Homo-oligomer: A and B are copies of this chain.
Amino acid sequence: MQGSVLLTIAVLGGTGKEGKGLAYRWAKAGYRVLIGSRSSEKAVTAASEIMQLLEGAASVVGTTNLEAAQQADIVVVTVPYSAHRDTLENVKDALKGKLLIDTTVPLIPPKVSKVQMPSAGSAAQEAREILGAEAEVAAAFQNVSHKHLLGEEVVECDVLVTGTSKNARAEVLKLVEATGLTGWDAGPIENSVVVEGLTSVLININKQYGSTYAGIRITGASNK
């Protein structure tokens, strides 16, 4: 088992496809995972699905978003953008002194292939505004399709990690590695606009070239 310090990771909105996929990969790597949801029943169901996939050799528990945030060392938010602000305001007090990893892309239907950022600059910077300086905020996994997480497939998409400090980004890069993906330090939280917006660019590429899971790879550098 990796994750030897046995950190507990809360995945808010962990009943969704992206959240469930990440929870699966972290649980498999040995982390204790709390699935959070507005409905604790749904969270319990999602947790038991993941436990079945891993044949019981994992620690995954379902509960409410708030309880999950309270009990975790690191909190990951994987809700749709429409629920982003409410979810964060609900758990704000529980996040003091912790690290939030935001996976949100501020897609505004119907024009999801056009970059449309909130006034804060990006969803991650909006999270930063909501939580204040008492939590660290990082952002990652915005470009990765959930289809490739809940299984053993190699994910042909790198993960660009932004965050409010180099330490926060380093912490997230360890969690990226634990999922089997390749992560890169993409700089300060202000750079989140690039990574979140890249999802709209990839959606546009899927639309124009008939693909389904366009992704990106960094070339010309080594993170080993």
Contacts and interface: CB of A to CB of B under 8 A. Distances in A.
Interface residues of A, number: 41
Contact of A218 (B113, B195, B214, B222): B214
A186 interface: yes
Contacts of A188: 113-114
Interface stretch (A20-28, A62-70, A77-85, A198-206): A198-206
Given A114-B191, A186-B201, A194-B115, A211 B221 contact: yes
Contacts of A186: 201, 204-205
A174 interface: no
Interface in A179-195: 184-188, 190-191, 193-195
Interface string A203-216: 01110110111111
A194 B184 contact: no
Nearest to A194: B197
A156 interface: yes
A220 B213 CA distance: 6
Given A187-B204, A191-B204, A193-B115, A215 B219 contact: yes
Given A114-B187, A114-B188, A194-B198, 9 more contacts: A113-B188, A117-B193, A187-B204, A193-B193, A194-B200, A194-B201, A209-B223, A214-B220, A215-B219
Interface of A: 113-117, 156-157, 160, 184-188, 190-191, 193-195, 197-198, 200-202, 204-206, 208-209, 211-223
